[in-house]
Chain A
Amino acid sequence: MPVLKKKPRVEGEIPTSSMADIAFLLLIFFLVTTTIDVDTGIGMVLPPKLEDDVIPPPIRERNVLKILVNEAGLVLVEDQPSAVQLIRQEVMTHVLNEGVDPRYAESAGKALISIKTSRETPYSAYVNVLDEVWMAYFEMWDSEARALGYLDYKTYVSAITESGAENIIRDKIKAAISIAEPDGT
């Protein structure tokens, strides 16, 4: 009677050495397809709808800086022909006037920028003007923050969100931008 030979035991394991490679392939797929596109843009808050019986509070003429953008993208500031590049400086003199020049605003808290377009104004011209106005505010906030001893407005904001203090720069210089309806509508 022949002796039954014992079969050599086969290892019953799945090889896991290729696991890393498979995971790498999947990782690369997701890396390539992921688009972390953070949406950037110019933020605005529209004024709430006016109730019919509420009359908006009167605003003194000198506190409003009127910017008009026409169909060709040309700019009028306070009825004077101007250029988009000059708006930033104009807005800053208007807001930081503190009642010195009678043509400009009484105080930074009361200053208002009004942007008026016609219905045919190209959107890009409007965005350029709005961008300049916002940049003027950003520059003013930056210099206010530097006066308080911060590097810029951004570091000031992160500092106050940490401590929970109130944003005194925003209280002092409010970004009051109004988008006026075109005439005849």
Chain B
Amino acid sequence: MAGHFKKKTKTKEEIPTASLPDIIFMLLIFFMVTTVLRETTVQVRTLLPKAEALTKIDQKRLVTYVYIGPKKLEGNRIGETSVQIDDALVEDLGNVRTIMYSKLVEQPRLIVSLKVDETSEMGVVLDIHGELREAGTLRINYSSKREIPS
């Protein structure tokens, strides 16, 4: 017996798009807040070494970067090994301890990230170690890239 089927009431099939701008704005604000624009220009070349035993530094606020590597010159040439902290090259390594000490006073949980060019010699790195020990900034991190295991 064929029954008479009532046609279903037509429902709107559209997804409401009224809240789309709000969603997009939320994403936008998230990215605006998390974006850190690079504030320093690095004047030395730092090709980082590769390593496996890596740890991540999540708290970027705690980190101070020390760049060690050959100075970048015009025309893709490189000069002698120099040390840069923040925006300026450090001419006299003896100043490192005062710079680092004042940073430590501001941020007692300071981590010093050493971005050292892989062609640098250990001499300058050991000198920086000595200065950091004088300053009392003992937590360091040899910045290195992830090694792809062969």
Contact = CB atoms under 8 A, between A and B. Distances in A.
Classify chain B: how many residues form its interface, as a range: 35 or more
A45 B57 CA distance: 14
Contacts of A150: none
A47 interface: yes
Contact of A41 (B21, B133, B141): B141
A41 B119 contact: no
A1 interface: no
A167 B56 CA distance: 19
What's the dominant secondary structure at chain B's contact region?
A: mixed
B49 A46 contact: no
Contacts of B21: 16, 19-20, 23
Contacts, number: 145
B9 interface: no
Interface of A: 16, 19-20, 23-24, 26-27, 30-31, 33-36, 38-49, 117-124, 126-128, 130-131, 134-135, 137-138, 179, 181-182
29 contacts: A30-B32, A33-B35, A38-B57, A40-B144, A40-B145, A41-B54, A41-B57, A41-B113, A41-B114, A41-B141, A41-B143, A42-B51, A42-B55, A43-B55, A45-B140, A46-B138, A48-B136, A117-B126, A119-B126, A120-B122, A123-B121, A123-B125, A124-B119, A127-B49, A131-B147, A134-B53, A135-B53, A138-B53, A179-B129
